[in-house]
Structure 1
């Protein structure tokens, strides 16, 4: 994540664009931060507009920021100073809970409380999105690294794999009956899936290729991550750690062994209220978190300490996005 002075000087925008850190809040604002100084470098105020910011996603080439705001997806140009989105995607009829860019930036997937998963073609933003009927409010959705499958989780306790070639739900899991699954995360190599539910329980599956003859989802373990509501789980880019965020104000860091044993390594303490979201740096050495205490924090994984706090939101900070890798 550290950058050279030369890279920041060469940037015409006037601050170092090699690290993009963004937060969204119930105050309706989207804020860009200088990661190391803690200075807010740009605010998208959305003055007079309704709708809280639910989720944020940065495209892999660092050009675009997608914000899920109530029933719409607003896409902003990251290097622009304009407060207006250049694309607005409309089609969901209820709160959007999750968004993600595909690796080439050609499409975005979204999940919503309206019970659908939608794929939006960014090359034809005015066209109709592809829609999958999930049958229950969708809480999270992620794109498999092969870019040909989606995995979603929902309020009815189901996890579904959607095959983009055949346009079908090809697998369904219900690890804890009808207890809502709040968050899911896939390892960067597609080898492992973790799901966290409303009771703070985490479930882990090994993902096998169809050619092995083994089940696609092979249950390997489960563990209680938090005694209160779990809000987000996220596997680090190097697939060595899992971060879990909770209503108990903490973030826990779990090491992942090659045999999929999960061991609690650290509890990150500092936030005063619910922790809603987190994002890892590309090298897995840092973690950003967003909390109802109105702040975001940058944590150093090695020490478990807060190295920067981002103050500026005047309501709960509920989502964050970080991209400091190669674009």
Structure 2
């Protein structure tokens, strides 16, 4: 398959789509599967699909998705919130609300590493060097994990204990973006009226070479991305854009300058409810999004228009994965 597009939903279904026709070509059966689909990832060789399904992780053969999972990892005790493949498909990293980050050997099907994060994990990404992980959590921390030393080597808390919801790492490893939701309380006198204003904020760090005299993570900017909850932030493969998804039903596209300035380029409008996840095409020309309105959409980046809508889920579509590059 030249283009693999997959969505997951609270209806417990994983659907494969023909990207250009909008037709659902295959559905992974719900038989025996209990729990919502939280996260999806496609292996670099396009052979495997990893699905975080409630507290477990199922690995499916993409060529035969109707078959039972090829592998199943049951070590987490809370919702699985992150799944990422090693660049050569040797291992899979998962994060969970149980406060752990686990690395699973896909060849032996055994648990290889287990890191105690001490707080629910909201997102994990693999550094391009394949020797480090970066995670964010409910305690507001961003951590770098060194796989050779087997320890957390750096920790950032840019906004105190405000939970960090999502992180994204530039494909060249030069820049890190993390998004959180800052709630601001308002009181009005003499009659006290309480209200909470939520702001989805993004924090940006330049990542320096560890051999230099500069700090590993150098804070460069922060900006308000949305006036409601921020659910996902994601760099485009060419690192020219950042996409942010939100409870405000929109996806915002931010252009990135060479000196790490983020300028709002366009707002993608069309979803009717929360937008939970997004995935770029390999050439950064298209973006797929998944929403609580039960649909996924394919957007053309140049125009900001929807070019295809994927209908079929019966509940919120909360995750998506796209692989249209070389396998």
TM surpasses 0.5: yes
Structure 1 residue 49, shift from structure 2 partner: 2.8
1:13 is aligned to none
What stretches of structure 1 of length at least 5 have no aligned partner? 1-16
Aligned to 1:74: 58
Query: Which of the residues 176, 183, 186 maps onto 1:193?
Result: 176
Q: 1:141 aligns with which of 105, 116, 124?
A: 124
Report how far residue 46 of structure 1 moved.
Answer: 1.4
C-alpha deviation, 1:91, in angstroms: 0.4
Is 1:26 aligned with 2:15? no
TM, length-normalised to structure 1: 0.94
Q: Deviations over 1:275-305 (max 9, x none)?
A: 0000000000000000000000000000000
| Match in the other structure for 2:227 | 227
- After superposition, the C-alpha distances for 1:33-89 in whole angstroms (9 at most, x for unaligned) are 000000000001213531100000000000000000011110000011424111101
* Mapped partners of 2:92, 2:268: distance in 1: 32
Unaligned ranges ≥5, structure 2: 183-199
Match of 1:176 among 150, 154, 159: 159
Matches within 5 A, 1:1-327: 17-125=1-109, 127-199=110-182, 200-327=200-327
CA distance in 1: counterparts of 2:34 and 2:60, whole angstroms: 17
Deviations along 1:169-201, one digit per CA (max 9) or x if unpaired, are: 000000000000000000000000000002300
- Contact 2:29–2:66 (CA<8 Å) still a contact in 1? no
Distance (Å, rounded) in 1 between the aligned partners of 2:307 and 2:146: 41
Is the Cα contact below 8 Å between 1:282 and 1:325 reproduced in 2?
yes
Contact 2:144 2:154 (8 Å CA) reproduced: yes
SS in 1 for 2:289: strand
* Secondary structure at the counterpart of residue 128 of structure 2: coil
How far, CA to CA, are the matches of 1:128 and 1:256 in structure 2?
38
- The 4+ residue runs of structure 1 with deviation greater than 6 A are none
Normalised by the size of structure 2, how large is the TM-score? 0.94
Conserved 8 A contact 1:46-1:83: no
Post-superposition Cα deviations, 1:94-125, rounded to whole Å, max 9, x if no partner, equal: 11000000100000000000000100011110
> Residues 197-246 of structure 1, C-alpha deviation per residue, up to 9 Å, x if partnerless?
02300000000001111000000000000011100000000000000000
What SS does the aligned partner of 2:211 have?
A: helix
